[in-house]
A and B are shown apart, each in its own frame.
Chain A
């Protein structure tokens, strides 16, 4: 079946770099997205990778390797406000569903002073 795997928790200190991994298993693939969600808030879009390689947006970068069914989100110069949950998501093409989206269970990032 289709699934995404992420670590459940990651802890890092302010100013450091942290990488959140995501491995996926789907019957088709259109791209990998990343979302951030603060406690009690709505998820917000961070990045999208359709092709292999690194996409950089400010302090955040996202990487994709389609051959390995793997991606990661890289957060640099960590700030306290980066403490949040991070979700990866893919669009699944199986069973004729052309718009079904699957999210990972989320990684809770705790940034410590």
Chain B
């Protein structure tokens, strides 16, 4: 089954404790992206990757890191999480960007 998986689905952590949210897709897509979704603000792109070893900033990259060492994986790293990073996070992949993105189920992160 074609899918994007994210782990964990839910996470409660404390300020400053490094965390990683994993994202994996099995569709051989070149494009992968991370978004955060906050009430009233829609989906905002954090980082995207056009291909392996190629990443670039979206609209809200501050406080986040990503890497793309393999085509299927695109982890999101929060080196020192802060409460303003409490949000719903989605990973997505597609053949080439805007066209048809497949979204993961989401990760609800709470930073206290």
Q: Which residues of A contact B (CB under 8 A)?
A: 30-31, 33, 35, 41-45, 48, 87, 89-91, 97-106
Contacts and interface: CB of A to CB of B under 8 A. Distances in A.
B33 interface: yes
B31 A99 contact: yes
15 contacts: A30-B97, A30-B98, A31-B98, A33-B99, A41-B106, A89-B98, A91-B97, A97-B56, A99-B50, A99-B56, A100-B59, A101-B45, A101-B58, A103-B44, A104-B42
Contacts, number: 71
A23 to B, nearest CB: 15
A31 B99 contact: yes
Contact of B59 (A30, A44, A91, A102): A102
A33 B42 CA distance: 14
A30 B97 CA distance: 10
B70 interface: no
B102 interface: yes
B48, B49, B97, B98, most chain A CB atoms within 10 A? B98
Contacts of B99: 31, 33, 48
Contact of B43 (A31, A44, A87, A91): A87
Top 9 A-B residue pairs of the complex, sorted by shortest distance between their CB atoms:
A91-B98, A105-B42, A42-B103, A103-B43, A45-B100, A106-B42, A99-B50, A103-B42, A43-B103
A104 B45 CA distance: 11
